[in-house]
Structures are given as structure tokens and as C-alpha cells.
């Protein structure tokens, strides 16, 4: 038998419900202000849904009571919910209530995509330091970071890579992995894609790129890799899935074949006085 669940002046009072759902009325200071229901999906998981226009912090209290009930009474190890990406109020309430953002479920047609959020029975308590950090890490926005290297030969030419996935040539480098330092990411990328080991001499600038041609915005860390003998390219082992060839390029070739962001960035380098942080203009589509 389902019992009333309480948190100070807020309670969840059982409703008649159905065989499919375990339902509660949300009661605040003796006034019914919404509903919340649990549905067993399988032996290990239950879903949760609710309907209330209260402030997210108040709804979160009701969600915590219901989630704890799912773990103890329904004996499941996971409680989850799927919410429209534009339903910011319920997403915030779910987060405060201890549900951790896990990803986006794409929906065909005009309906909004859904945010998948869940809590496991052995997750740290939401109000604890570890639980709070885990929920923030799962829900806070992330920024793509790219590390690129500026390599010159004895003639002052710049090394560019001809790529398999776009027509324009670009500076050597790539996307930094989660938890990886940008400088170490550049060393790894050049070992993987060009088969060389480089020495990072210093940071030239951080260049913010606006969204372009379907790519999300990103921050480029441009590192100085010094001057090398042009013959270094003869010993490179190129990763064929990403690199077609490497080229030593003079300014005219850069302007003719380079990616818009690389052209703009290298021209800024040539003018001197490069700031430690800059924002690239939006390139033409």
C-alpha cells in the first residue's frame, strides 16, 4: 500500500492511479498544487512524470520524495524522464531534484527534441558536494576546443594540411579530448595524423570561431611549433582517413587554398602584436 510522503510542509498523497502508474497529488500547505507519477518500465528502471506550475525549487522537493519512493518501494535502480528541450522550467526542477542530464533524444518532425535525465540508486545525494558537482558537470554547457600548430620552414612558408572532409586546407591539429590539456592534445594529434613528434614552444593566441557551415562554435588554441627543415614532410606518415597531403604554403597559396578561419588568423599573425585572445569574424557560408 502506498503511503503519504512528507517533506516539511510539502507532501505527496497517494491517488487512485492505475495498475500502470503509482500516482501522487502534490500538496503544499494543505493545498493541492500538482501531480507526480511513477511508472515501472522494467525490473531495473522506472520513469517519472509530473504536472505542476510551482517554482522549480518546490517541484524538486516533490521529485526527490517520489524518486526515493521508487528506489525503496518499487526497488528499481534507475529513475528517468524525457523532457522537451525548450521546457526549461521542468528541466531545472529535474536537475535540482537530483536527475542528471544524460543526452539529447532526437525527435522526427516538428516536435522538439528531448533531454534525457536520470538518477541511479547509488548516485551521491543531490544535496552533497559530490552529487552537486556531478549534476552540474552533466548539465553545464561545454565548449569545443581545437589545438592547432603554426609550423614554418626555412623559407618562412607555413605548413597546411589538405583534408579529406573539406575542400579548404587548414593548419595541423585537431579537437582536444575531454580532460586533455590543449598543448598535449596538439602533440597527440600530430603524432596520430602526421606521424611526427613536435615541441610546443608557446601559445600564440586563443581564437574564438563563430558557428560556421553546420559546425558549432569553438575556441582554437594556436601554438608556436617553431621553424623546421622543409624536408620534415618527407618522413611524415599521414593518417589517410583525415589527411590527403601536407603542403608548405606562401601567403598567396594560403589565401587561395586555406580555410577562411586559417587565412584570417594567419594574416593577423603576420601583422604582429597578436592579442592573447581574439574573436574571428563570421566567415561566408
**Could you say which architecture CATH assigns to the domain 144-279?**
Alpha-Beta Complex (3.90)
Chain segment 179-234, per-residue pLDDT in tens: 999 999 999 999 999 999 999 999 999 999 998 777 789 999 999 999 999 999 99
Cell digits of residue 175: 579537437
Q: 272 burial class (0-12, 13-18, 19+ CB within 10 angstroms)? A: exposed
Band of residue 146 on the pLDDT scale cut at 50, 70, 90: very high
CATH number listed for the domain at residues 5-139: 3.40.630.30
Q: At 22, phi and psi to the nearest 5?
A: -105, 105
Cβ proximity of 218 and 207 under 8 Å:
no
* 128 vs 225: CA distance, rounded Å: 45
pTM over 0.85: no
Q: At 192, phi and psi to the nearest 5?
A: -75, -40
Radius of gyration of the chain (CA): 27
Chain segment 223-280, per-residue pLDDT in tens: 999 999 999 999 999 999 999 999 999 999 999 999 999 999 999 999 887 899 999 8
* 53 vs 50: CA distance, rounded Å: 10
CA end-to-end span of the chain? 62
Give CATH 3.40.630.30 domain extents, the chain: 5-139
Query: Do the bridges between strand 45-52 and strand 31-40 make them parallel or antiparallel, or are there none, so unpaired?
Result: antiparallel
* Residues present in the chain in total: 285
Amino acid at each position: 500500500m502506498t503511503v503519504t510522503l512528507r517533506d516539511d510542509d510539502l507532501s505527496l498523497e497517494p491517488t487512485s492511479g492505475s495498475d500502470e502508474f503509482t500516482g501522487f497529488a502534490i500538496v503544499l500547505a494543505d493545498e493541492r498544487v500538482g501531480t507526480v507519477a511513477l511508472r515501472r518500465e522494467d525490473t531495473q528502471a522506472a520513469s517519472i512524470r509530473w504536472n505542476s506550475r510551482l517554482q522549480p525549487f518546490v517541484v524538486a522537493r516533490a521529485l526527490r520524495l517520489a524518486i526515493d519512493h521508487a528506489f525503496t518501494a518499487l526497488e528499481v535502480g534507475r529513475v528517468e524522464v524525457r523532457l522537451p528541450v525548450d521546457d526549461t522550467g521542468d528541466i531545472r526542477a529535474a536537475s535540482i531534484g537530483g536527475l542528471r542530464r544524460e543526452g539529447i533524444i532526437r525527435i522526427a518532425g516538428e516536435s522538439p527534441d528531448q533531454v534525457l535525465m536520470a538518477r541511479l540508486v547509488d548516485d551521491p545525494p543531490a544535496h552533497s558536494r559530490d552529487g552537486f558537482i556531478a549534476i552540474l558537470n552533466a548539465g553545464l554547457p561545454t565548449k569545443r576546443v581545437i589545438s592547432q600548430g603554426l609550423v614554418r620552414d626555412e623559407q618562412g612558408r607555413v605548413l597546411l594540411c589538405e583534408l579529406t572532409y573539406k575542400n579548404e586546407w587548414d593548419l595541423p591539429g585537431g579537437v582536444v579530448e575531454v580532460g586533455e590539456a590543449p598543448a598535449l592534445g596538439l602533440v597527440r594529434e600530430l603524432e596520430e595524423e602526421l606521424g611526427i613528434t613536435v615541441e610546443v614552444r608557446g601559445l600564440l593566441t586563443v581564437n574564438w570561431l563563430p558557428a560556421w557551415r553546420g559546425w558549432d562554435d569553438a575556441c582554437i588554441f594556436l601554438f608556436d611549433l617553431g621553424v623546421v627543415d622543409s624536408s620534415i614532410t618527407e618522413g611524415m606518415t599521414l593518417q589517410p582517413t583525415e589527411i590527403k597531403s601536407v603542403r608548405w604554403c606562401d601567403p598567396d597559396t594560403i589565401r587561395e587554398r586555406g580555410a577562411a578561419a586559417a587565412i584570417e588568423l594567419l594574416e593577423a599573425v603576420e601583422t604582429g602584436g597578436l592579442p592573447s585572445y581574439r574573436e574571428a569574424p563570421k566567415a561566408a557560408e
